[in-house]
């Protein structure tokens, strides 16, 4: 086992550091930069079928579900096709409005999650085409789906998912760009710019990993907190949910992720003197709104760590601590902003002396409904 960890103390840390490679492998063969195109040679869905799609359902559990929330933003922005996202155990029993023109995308690292498999079967029964995004190409979900996009993250051993999540985001970006190209819903110049930006993301993840020591210090400072809040708007809210889940899963600290604008409608009551808040602000057009939400929590005594790619003086002044991430296209920031959150969860769990790779009560793959 020590040899398999390649010198890392835990599988989770090793897998966090494998992300640049996992991202590169997942996009390999899909980006034709010279032609400014995305290709999906293995896809069975024909161009005609793709053009017919008028609605997309994304269905998954746990971390894969949170990847789906980012997937929705990406696909809707790029293609203007309406997207619904649901957890698999809910989808199945809510009589989903699925037709032959609906594409259902199931997302599963293992490809064996029982709830997700049941949702896949239900979607097929209702006449939908099913595309699976999975890390295991020989899995049951991969076999039963009409089409598969493989994430090439390599085996993920730690229960808390990291590299599979960012590889799932990459799969969504690639597929969204491909759909936009085939349906001609995107300006070719913008498409080419996005392809070039996406190609750089794996190297930018390496830059974020260089901040690991600062995040370790931060994590050691929050290990005795009762509760940690994550706030963000839009795509940052989706990432906040994943960051909060990571922290809960392995540190057992209570945590909530909230849409920053919704705080004042209830959750603000839980902010006390000294409460730790982690605020994501990666979208330039939302900085002003985030500043007012950060000011609201600070007025109640919260300490705030801000995560941003931008040099926005007022934002910097409003928070107590800052974590910088590299600049990419606004749509792609989740791959970069989630990495500090993974490291915070890891180092908090480590500081508490928990079994990081095998947290209590959780299994890597849940094969019962
Ligand atoms: C379990 C794991 C989670 C994972 C979820 C979905 O609950 O503990 O980390 O996100 O299953 O797994 P899947 O293999 O379908 O992505």
Assign 47 a pLDDT band (cuts: 50, 70, 90). confident
What's the CA-to-centroid distance between 159 and ligand 1, angstroms? 8
What's the CA-to-centroid distance between 347 and ligand 1, angstroms? 21
Predicted complex ipTM exceeds 0.85: yes
**Which atom, in ligand 1's list, is nearest to the CA of 65?**
10
What's the CA-to-centroid distance between 10 and ligand 1, angstroms? 19
**Average pLDDT score over residue span 16-43:** 93
What's the CA-to-centroid distance between 301 and ligand 1, angstroms? 35
Q: Considering only CA atoms, which residue is closest to atom 5 of ligand 1?
A: 62
For 174-202, write each residue's pLDDT tens digit.
999 999 999 999 999 999 999 999 999 99
pLDDT for the residue 3: 78
For 202-230, write each residue's pLDDT tens digit.
999 999 999 999 999 999 999 999 999 99
Q: What is the mean pLDDT of the chain?
A: 95
**Model confidence at 369: pLDDT above 90:** no
For 322-361, write each residue's pLDDT tens digit.
999 999 999 999 999 999 999 999 999 999 999 999 999 9
pLDDT for the residue 295: 96
Q: Which helix (H) or strand (E) holds 305?
A: strand 303-308
pLDDT for the residue 131: 98
**Which atom, in ligand 1's list, is nearest to the CA of 363?**
8
Cβ(27)–Cβ(198) below 8 Å:
yes
Protein residues with CB under 6 Å of any ligand 1 atom: 61-64, 108-110, 113, 116, 159, 161, 362-366
pLDDT for the residue 33: 77
**Which atom, in ligand 1's list, is nearest to the CA of 60?**
15
What's the CA-to-centroid distance between 366 and ligand 1, angstroms? 7
What's the CA-to-centroid distance between 126 and ligand 1, angstroms? 25
Q: Considering only CA atoms, which residue is closest to atom 8 of ligand 1?
A: 364
Encoded tokens for 38: 């995305």
| Prediction pTM value | 0.97
**Which atom, in ligand 1's list, is nearest to the CA of 161?**
9
For 240-266, write each residue's pLDDT tens digit.
999 999 999 999 999 999 999 998 898
**Which atom, in ligand 1's list, is nearest to the CA of 62?**
10
Ligand 1 pocket mutation pick from 62, 138, 158 by most atoms within 8 angstroms of CB? 62
Give 3-state DSSP helix, strand, coil % of the chain, rounded to 5.
50, 15, 35
pLDDT for the residue 267: 84
For 279-316, write each residue's pLDDT tens digit.
999 999 999 999 999 999 999 999 999 999 988 899 99
pLDDT for the residue 82: 97
Q: Bigger pLDDT: 32 or 276?
A: 276
Write out the catalytic residue numbers. 364
Assign 120 a pLDDT band (cuts: 50, 70, 90). very high
For 132-178, write each residue's pLDDT tens digit.
999 999 999 999 999 999 999 999 999 999 999 999 999 999 999 99
Long-range contacts of 26-35 (CB under 8 A, 24+ apart): 26/150, 26/151, 26/152, 26/153, 26/167, 26/170, 26/171, 26/174, 27/170, 27/174, 27/198, 27/199, 27/202, 28/152, 30/174, 30/178, 31/174, 31/195, 31/198, 31/199, 33/195, 33/196, 33/199
Ligand 1 pocket mutation pick from 11, 15, 60, 63 by most atoms within 8 angstroms of CB? 63
**Model confidence at 6: pLDDT above 90:** no
Instruction: State what percent of residues in the chain have pLDDT above 90.
Output: 88
Q: Running DSSP on this structure, what letter comes out for residue 261?
A: G
């Amino acid at each position: 086992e020590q040899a398999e960890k390649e010198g890392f103390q835990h599988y989770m840390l090793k897998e966090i550091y494998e992300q640049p490679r996992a991202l590169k492998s997942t996009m390999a063969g899909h980006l034709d930069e010279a032609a400014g195109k995305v290709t999906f040679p293995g896809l069975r869905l024909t161009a005609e079928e793709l053009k017919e799609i008028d609605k997309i359902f994304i269905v998954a559990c746990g971390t894969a579900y949170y990847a789906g929330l980012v997937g929705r933003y990406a696909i809707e922005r790029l293609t203007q096709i309406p997207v619904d996202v649901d957890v698999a155990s809910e989808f199945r029993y809510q009589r989903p409005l699925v037709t032959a023109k609906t594409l259902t995308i199931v997302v599963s690292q293992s490809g064996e999650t029982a709830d997700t498999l049941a949702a896949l079967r239900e979607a097929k029964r209702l006449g939908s085409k099913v595309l699976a995004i999975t890390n295991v190409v020989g899995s049951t979900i991969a076999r039963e789906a009409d089409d598969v996009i493989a994430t090439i993250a390599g085996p993920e051993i730690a229960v808390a998912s990291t590299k599979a999540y960012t590889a799932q985001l990459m799969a969504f970006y690639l597929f969204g760009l491909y759909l936009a190209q085939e349906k001609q819903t995107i300006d070719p110049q913008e498409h080419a710019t996005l392809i070039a930006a996406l190609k750089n993301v794996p190297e930018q993840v390496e830059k974020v990993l260089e901040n690991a020591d600062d995040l370790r210090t931060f994590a050691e400072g929050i290990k005795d907190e009762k509760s940690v809040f994550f706030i963000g708007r839009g795509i940052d809210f989706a990432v906040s949910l994943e960051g909060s889940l990571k922290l809960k899963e392995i540190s057992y600290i209570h945590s909530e992720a909230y849409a920053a604008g919704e705080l004042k409608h209830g959750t603000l009551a839980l902010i006390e003197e000294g409460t730790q808040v982690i605020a994501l602000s990666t979208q330039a057009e939302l900085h002003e709104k985030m500043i007012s939400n950060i000011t609201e929590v600070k007025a109640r005594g919260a300490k705030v760590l801000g995560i941003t790619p931008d040099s926005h003086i007022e934002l910097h002044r409003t928070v107590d601590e800052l974590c910088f991430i590299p600049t990419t296209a606004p749509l792609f920031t989740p791959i970069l902003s989630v990495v500090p959150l993974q490291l915070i969860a890891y180092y908090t769990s480590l500081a508490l002396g928990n079994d990081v790779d095998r947290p209590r009560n959780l299994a890597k793959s849940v094969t019962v409904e």
